[in-house]
Amino acid sequence: MMTDQYAVIGNPIGHTKSPLIHGLFAEATQQDMSYTAIEGPLEPQDAFAATVRKFIAAGGKGMNVTAPFKLKAFAMADERSERADLAGAANALSFRDGRIIAENFDGVGLLRDIEVNLNLPMAGKRVLVLGAGGAVRGALLPFLAARPAELVVANRDIAKVRALVDQVSTSGPLAACSYANLEAMGQFDLVVNATSASLTGELPPVPPSVFSLTGAAYELAYGKRLTPFLRLARNAGVLRVADGVGMLVEQAAEAFAWWRGVRPQTHAVIDRLTVALD
């Protein structure tokens, strides 16, 4: 019997931890599968789709998709989940019966890391999310399902974030806000930085007043130690700070379970990849 083939595709892809994560999952759950990294070509326009179809033709069963191909993966799918539809992006593909099925596990992986691993239930809490990109789009439905008292999405471009909020059909305590108005919004129990600022060592324009001393700050970027955002939170007196390594592993576990029908344990893998926040 042939070993089932899986891969992650992105560009650049040299930094990816996905082959290590899925290799550990496969070993722990005794799955006969291989998992590789593919650097997808940026040009010409149809090169990404051609690369995916070549992988399928060679027996590929599924793919994780990372930057900058999540929109292209979504566009080429034959079927899309509700989460992928809202995000307008796919971070996982499954190839079944000649069809390409798109999913987005970023939001559900993020929620699981926050609620299960960090023991920070969102129910009844005030939650602030910074940014309005693909990660935020994928997180809104899972976050609302966790029943926060209020979910505020803040962004420089208020029109962009209002349009995003309007797209969410699920009724819930969801509001759009500009960074300029955050000062008047009071304290939040959880502040999530989903902007790309930390990737370049920058700080999103958020006032320290949004942090609650008994709350938490979560950074989607991982392996960056104490980012400017997390340092701001620490300086504001927040004791509970976390980066996105848990989200990385949990969304991988969701994809693995979707493909293989068994959900791997994640704690040992998270511990292995965790970098101290100092």
Known catalytic residues? 70
- Burial (CB < 10 A; 0-12, 13-18, 19+), residue 165, is middle
Q: Which residue has the tokens 């307008």?
A: 88
128 forms bridges with which residues in the sheet?
A: 152, 191
Strands across the sheet containing 60-65:
33-39, 4-10, 60-65, 92-96, 99-103, 79-80
Does 92 belong to an annotated binding site?
no
Does 244 belong to an annotated binding site?
yes
Does 107 belong to an annotated binding site?
no
Does 109 belong to an annotated binding site?
no
- CA 183, chain centre distance (Å): 27
Does 134 belong to an annotated binding site?
yes
Does 18 belong to an annotated binding site?
yes
Q: Which of 219, 223, 221, 217 is nearest to 199 (CA)?
A: 221
45 C-beta neighbours (distance < 10 Å), count:
8
Cα torsion 188, 189, 194, 198: sign: positive
Does 218 belong to an annotated binding site?
no
Dump the DSSP string for 216-263.
Answer: EEEESS-SSSS-HHHHHHHHTT--EEE-THHHHHHHHHHHHHHHHS-P
Q: Three-class SS of residue 5? A: strand
10 C-beta neighbours (distance < 10 Å), count:
20
Structure tokens, 220: 């989607």
Does 51 belong to an annotated binding site?
no
- CB burial of 167-185 (b: ≥16 within 10 Å; e: otherwise) equals ebeeebebebbebeebeeb
Does 220 belong to an annotated binding site?
yes
Does 103 belong to an annotated binding site?
no
150 forms bridges with which residues in the sheet?
A: 126
Does 17 belong to an annotated binding site?
yes
Does 66 belong to an annotated binding site?
yes
Residues forming the annotated binding site for shikimate? 16-18, 66, 91, 106, 222, 251
Residues forming the annotated binding site? 16-18, 66, 82, 91, 106, 131-135, 220, 222, 244, 251
Residues forming the annotated binding site for NADP(+)? 82, 131-135, 220, 244
